Structure 1
Amino acid sequence: MMQQYQSIKKEYPDAILFFRMGDFYEMFNEDAKEASKLLDIALTSRNKNKPNAIPMCGIPHHSANMYISRLVKGGKTIAVCEQVEDPKQAKGLVRREVVRVITPGTVLDDNLLDPKSHHFLVALYFGKEQTGLAALDMSTGLFKVTELPRTSADLLRDELGKLDPKEILIPENSTNGNEAHPPMLQGTDYFIQPVEDWTFHHSQAHRVLVEQFKTKTLDGFGCEGWPAAVCAAGALVQYLKETQKSALQHITSLSTFSTQDCMMLDQSTINSLELVQSSDGQRKHSLLGHLDATCTPLGARRLREWILKPLIRLESIQQRLDLVGHYREHLIERNDLREQLKHIFDLERLLGKISMSTCTPRDLIALKNSIRVFPDIQQMIERCPLPAMQAISSGWDNLESVYQRIDERIEDDPPLNIKDGNLIKPGCDEELDRLKAIMKDSNQAIANLEAREKERTGIPQLKVGYNKIYGYYIEVTKKNLDRVPDDFIRKQSLVNTERFISPELKQYEAEITGAEEKVQAIEQRLFHEVRQAVADEGTRIQAMARCIGELDALLGFAQIAHQHNYCRPQMNESDVLRIQNGRHPLVELIDPNQPFIPNDTQLDCNQHQVAIITGPNMAGKSTYLRQVALIVLMAQIGCFVPAEEAEIGLVDRIFSRVGAQDHLQKGQSTFMVEMNETANILNNATRKSLIILDEIGRGTSTFDGISIAWAIVEFLQGPDRIGAKTLFATHYHELTELERLFPSVKNYNVQIKEWNDEIIFLRKIVPGGADKSYGIHVARLAGLPEEVLKRANEVLFNLENSEYDEVGTPKLAQPQPPAAGPQQLGLFGESPSPLVQKLKQLDLDNLTPRQALERLYELRDLLKNG
Structure 2
Amino acid sequence: SLAHLQVAESFEIGQYLQMANTVQRNLELTQSATTGRKQGSLFWVLDKTTTAMGGRLLKQWLSRPLLSLDRIKQRQQMVQALLDDYFTRENIVDSLKGVYDLERLSGRVAFGNVNPRELLQLAKSLEATKPIIQALAESGNPDLEKYGQGIDPQSELAESITNCLVDQPPISAKDGGIIRAGVSEDLDKYREAMNGGKKWLAQMEMEERQRTGIDNLKIGYNRVFGYFIQVSKGNVAKVPQDRYTRKQTLTNAERYITPELKEHENLILEAESRSTDLEYELFSQLREAVKAHIPALQELGRQLVALDVFVAFAQDAEEKNYCRPSFSSKNEIAVKNGRHPVVEAVLPAGSYIPNDLVMDEDTSIYLITGPNMSGKSTYMRQLALIAIMAQIGSFVPADSAKLPVFDQVFTRIGAADDLYSGKSTFMVEMSEANEALQHASSRSLVLFDEIGRGTATYDGMALAGAIIKYLHDKVGAKTLFATHYHELTELDETLPHLKNIHVGATEENGQLIFLHKILPGPADQSYGIHVAKLAGLPRAVLREASSMLKRLEAEGAREINPSRQQLDLFSPVEVVEENPLKAEQEELLDEISQVNLNEKTPLEVMQLVADWQQALKEE
Instruction: Judge same fold: TM > 0.5, yes or no.
Output: yes
Which stretch shows the higher mean deviation, 411-420 or 579-588?
411-420
Aligned equivalent of 2:471: 716
**Counterpart amino acid of residue 17 in structure 2:** M
Aligned equivalent of 2:18: 264
Aligned equivalent of 2:486: 733
1:652-694 deviation digits (Å, cap 9, x = unpaired): 1111211110101111111100100110001110111111111
Change (3 A) 1:544 1:387: same
**1:578 matched to 2:334:** yes
Change (3 A) 1:447 1:345: closer
**1:249 matched to 2:7:** no
| Partner Cα separation in structure 2 for residue 675 and residue 454 of structure 1 | 94
Bigger relative contact order, structure 1 or 2, given CA contacts below 8 A and separation 6+? 2
**1:322 matched to 2:80:** no
CA deviation after TM superposition for structure 1 residue 621, in Å: 0.3
Aligned equivalent of 2:504: 751
Paired residue for 1:643, among 390, 398, 404? Answer: 398
**Counterpart amino acid of residue 293 in structure 1:** K
1:246-299 deviation digits (Å, cap 9, x = unpaired): x22222521123311111111121011000111120112110111000000111
User: Does the 8 A contact of 2:368 with 2:501 survive in 1?
Assistant: yes
**Counterpart amino acid of residue 436 in structure 1:** R
Aligned equivalent of 2:56: 301
Change (3 A) 1:255 1:803: closer
**Counterpart amino acid of residue 524 in structure 2:** D
| Partner Cα separation in structure 2 for residue 622 and residue 819 of structure 1 | 38
Aligned equivalent of 1:768: 521
User: Does the 8 A contact of 1:328 with 1:561 survive in 2?
Assistant: yes
1:343-368 deviation digits (Å, cap 9, x = unpaired): 11101101111221222211111111
CA deviation after TM superposition for structure 1 residue 447, in Å: 4.3
Aligned equivalent of 1:589: 345
Change (3 A) 1:818 1:627: farther
Aligned equivalent of 2:586: none
**1:620 matched to 2:378:** no
CA deviation after TM superposition for structure 1 residue 394, in Å: 2.9
Change (3 A) 1:768 1:493: closer
**Counterpart amino acid of residue 179 in structure 2:** I
Runs (5+) with no aligned partner, structure 2: 558-565, 579-619
**Counterpart amino acid of residue 745 in structure 1:** L
Aligned equivalent of 2:295: 539
User: Does the 8 A contact of 2:88 with 2:139 survive in 1?
Assistant: no
User: Does the 8 A contact of 1:478 with 1:498 survive in 2?
Assistant: no
**Counterpart amino acid of residue 277 in structure 1:** Q
1:612-648 deviation digits (Å, cap 9, x = unpaired): 0000111100000000111111111111110011111
Aligned equivalent of 1:153: none
Map residues 74-85 of structure 1 onto 2, 5 A cutoff: none
Map residues 649-728 of structure 1 onto 2, 5 A cutoff: 649-718=404-473, 721-728=474-481
Paired residue for 1:374, among 122, 129, 142? Answer: 129
Aligned equivalent of 1:630: 385
Change (3 A) 1:310 1:451: closer
Partner SS for 1:413? coil
Map residues 526-565 of structure 1 onto 2, 5 A cutoff: 526-565=282-321
**Counterpart amino acid of residue 580 in structure 1:** K
Paired residue for 1:791, among 540, 544, 563? Answer: 544
CA deviation after TM superposition for structure 1 residue 524, in Å: 1.3
| Backbone CA RMSD of aligned residues | 3.0
| Partner Cα separation in structure 1 for residue 144 and residue 432 of structure 2 | 41
CA deviation after TM superposition for structure 1 residue 405, in Å: 1.7
1:689-709 deviation digits (Å, cap 9, x = unpaired): 111111111111111111111
**1:516 matched to 2:269:** no
**1:311 matched to 2:69:** no
CA deviation after TM superposition for structure 1 residue 763, in Å: 0.5
User: Does the 8 A contact of 2:2 with 2:110 survive in 1?
Assistant: yes
CA deviation after TM superposition for structure 1 residue 548, in Å: 0.6
Change (3 A) 1:596 1:817: farther
**1:353 matched to 2:111:** no
**1:566 matched to 2:322:** yes
1:771-796 deviation digits (Å, cap 9, x = unpaired): 21111111111122222222212211
User: Does the 8 A contact of 2:65 with 2:388 survive in 1?
Assistant: yes
Change (3 A) 1:687 1:471: closer
CA deviation after TM superposition for structure 1 residue 380, in Å: 1.0
User: Does the 8 A contact of 2:81 with 2:144 survive in 1?
Assistant: no
| Partner Cα separation in structure 1 for residue 93 and residue 60 of structure 2 | 21
CA deviation after TM superposition for structure 1 residue 814, in Å: 3.1
User: Does the 8 A contact of 2:212 with 2:238 survive in 1?
Assistant: no
CA deviation after TM superposition for structure 1 residue 490, in Å: 6.5
**1:363 matched to 2:121:** no
CA deviation after TM superposition for structure 1 residue 451, in Å: 8.0
User: Does the 8 A contact of 1:629 with 1:654 survive in 2?
Assistant: yes
**Counterpart amino acid of residue 2 in structure 2:** L
| Partner Cα separation in structure 2 for residue 541 and residue 745 of structure 1 | 54
| Partner Cα separation in structure 1 for residue 359 and residue 262 of structure 2 | 93
1:136-195 deviation digits (Å, cap 9, x = unpaired): xxxxxxxxxxxxxxxxxxxxxxxxxxxxxxxxxxxxxxxxxxxxxxxxxxxxxxxxxxxx
Change (3 A) 1:532 1:793: same
CA deviation after TM superposition for structure 1 residue 446, in Å: 2.7
**1:434 matched to 2:189:** yes
Change (3 A) 1:782 1:492: closer
| Partner Cα separation in structure 2 for residue 268 and residue 478 of structure 1 | 86
CA deviation after TM superposition for structure 1 residue 817, in Å: 4.3
Change (3 A) 1:464 1:343: closer
Which stretch shows the higher mean deviation, 436-445 or 767-776?
436-445
Paired residue for 1:814, among 572, 582, 588? Answer: 572
| Partner Cα separation in structure 1 for residue 273 and residue 78 of structure 2 | 55
User: Does the 8 A contact of 1:794 with 1:816 survive in 2?
Assistant: no
**Counterpart amino acid of residue 32 in structure 2:** S
**Counterpart amino acid of residue 540 in structure 1:** A
Change (3 A) 1:814 1:725: same
CA deviation after TM superposition for structure 1 residue 475, in Å: 10
Identity of aligned residues (%): 38
CA deviation after TM superposition for structure 1 residue 383, in Å: 3.3
Change (3 A) 1:490 1:702: closer
Segments ≥4 residues shifted beyond 4 Å = 384-388, 447-455, 459-482, 488-494, 497-500, 808-811, 815-820
Change (3 A) 1:616 1:511: same
**Counterpart amino acid of residue 513 in structure 1:** L
| Partner Cα separation in structure 1 for residue 372 and residue 24 of structure 2 | 23
Query: Which structure is higher in helix share?
Result: 2
Change (3 A) 1:461 1:307: same
1:559-610 deviation digits (Å, cap 9, x = unpaired): 011010011111233301110110000111222167111111112442x211
User: Does the 8 A contact of 2:212 with 2:239 survive in 1?
Assistant: no
User: Does the 8 A contact of 1:322 with 1:386 survive in 2?
Assistant: no
Map residues 96-135 of structure 1 onto 2, 5 A cutoff: none
User: Does the 8 A contact of 1:696 with 1:730 survive in 2?
Assistant: yes
Paired residue for 2:170, among 397, 411, 415? Answer: 415
Map residues 2-17 of structure 1 onto 2, 5 A cutoff: none
CA deviation after TM superposition for structure 1 residue 443, in Å: 3.3
Partner SS for 1:257? coil
Query: Which structure is higher in strand share?
Result: 1
Aligned equivalent of 1:802: 555
User: Does the 8 A contact of 2:57 with 2:306 survive in 1?
Assistant: yes
Change (3 A) 1:291 1:803: closer
Aligned equivalent of 1:283: 38
Aligned equivalent of 1:45: none
**1:782 matched to 2:540:** no
User: Does the 8 A contact of 2:32 with 2:40 survive in 1?
Assistant: yes
CA deviation after TM superposition for structure 1 residue 818, in Å: 7.8
